[in-house]
Amino acid sequence: MMFSLSTRAAFIIMGSILLLPSGRMSSILCPDDNHPEKDFSSSFFYQAEKDRSKGYKAITRYEDGFIAAGSDGRIDKISSSGAIIKSEKFPGENFNSILSDDKRVIVAGDKGTILISSEEGIFNKFDSNTKENIHSLTLFKGEIIAGSDHGEIISSDEKGYFRRTRLALKGNIVSVSSNISECFGVTDEGEIIHSVDGINWDITNFNQVYSGYYKPCYFTKVLVTENRIAITGSHDDDSPVLMFSNQGRVWTERLLNYTDDKGDKGFLTAIPNDIMYDESGDYFYLACSNGKVIQLPSCTHCNKLARVSTEDLEGISSNGNTMMIVGGNFLIKDVSLKW
């Protein structure tokens, strides 16, 4: 589905910019045998999991097109026009994340599932060394890094084996992302984790540090680009949030005001589930609940909003020409990068 919007956004930037304390909280490993069970029943992510819908949960660029994964153990190859080329099912699995490099596709999901494709394209199951639900994957310095429930980080070693590290976190690690030098992760309780080696992690409790300056946040996604880090989620009043940082020490909130194609001004109410950066146009895109996509250029007065579906949008990716968006009920939407 292609669309074109012409809008001008009324945009407000929140004035508060704070520098984190010079001494970040250090990661603390909690031995499994001594780790007390925690009640996650009130967390943002727990409630989202209770209402989990059928459909795609993630998408990434693959060969000339895309590959998506989701509930019912589905992994689908998708053409650049949005057609399903090949569909595979792995009974009993629910996938939450997918990524690819030049040689393989890596998929992860509930109960510690990790599948990695061979050179022949056949998926093999690997022992992740955890039974926690894995929510996100990234490749960092040649290793697979996965974020999972109860503060567990799963990482591969040089021999392809996986090790787990349990951090002293209140929430579940719902997203991880990296560039060549740093890896970041976020939790559904407003925590930010950071590593330069994939082994040792600093922990920042965002809500504690910024208490009284920003509303409490529950994060859903982190994206690390070459020059910026973006974090999405919701405030405690269920309004959406987007935070930007250049180095992960100073965070500023970008309020999500917009003017639609009818000239009506508004504020985004949908919760961002995924974020993508288009380097060629210097745009960030948020795929949100209720079928909404918002485009965020460097100009803070030029945001554009479109509703491409009634389904919740869960994943967004680009091959340089087309954005492909997936979501509930196995929704697939191709959207032009040129609005």
1-16+249-339, CATH topology level: Lipocalin (2.40.128)
Pick 49 or 67 by higher pLDDT. Answer: 67
* Contacts with 70 (C-beta within 8 Å, 6 or more apart), sequence order: 54, 55, 56, 57, 58, 94, 95, 314, 326, 330
Average pLDDT, the chain: 85
Per-residue pLDDT band at 133 (split at 50, 70, 90): very high
pLDDT of residue 196: 97
Per-residue pLDDT band at 110 (split at 50, 70, 90): very high
pLDDT above 60 for 187: yes
The position carrying tokens 């989701």 is: 70
Straight-line distance from the first to the last Cα atom of the chain, in angstroms, rounded to the nearest whole number: 12
pLDDT of residue 281: 86
Predicted TM-score of the model (pTM) = 0.84
Per-residue pLDDT band at 36 (split at 50, 70, 90): very low
The span from the CA of 154 to the CA of 90, in Å, is 22
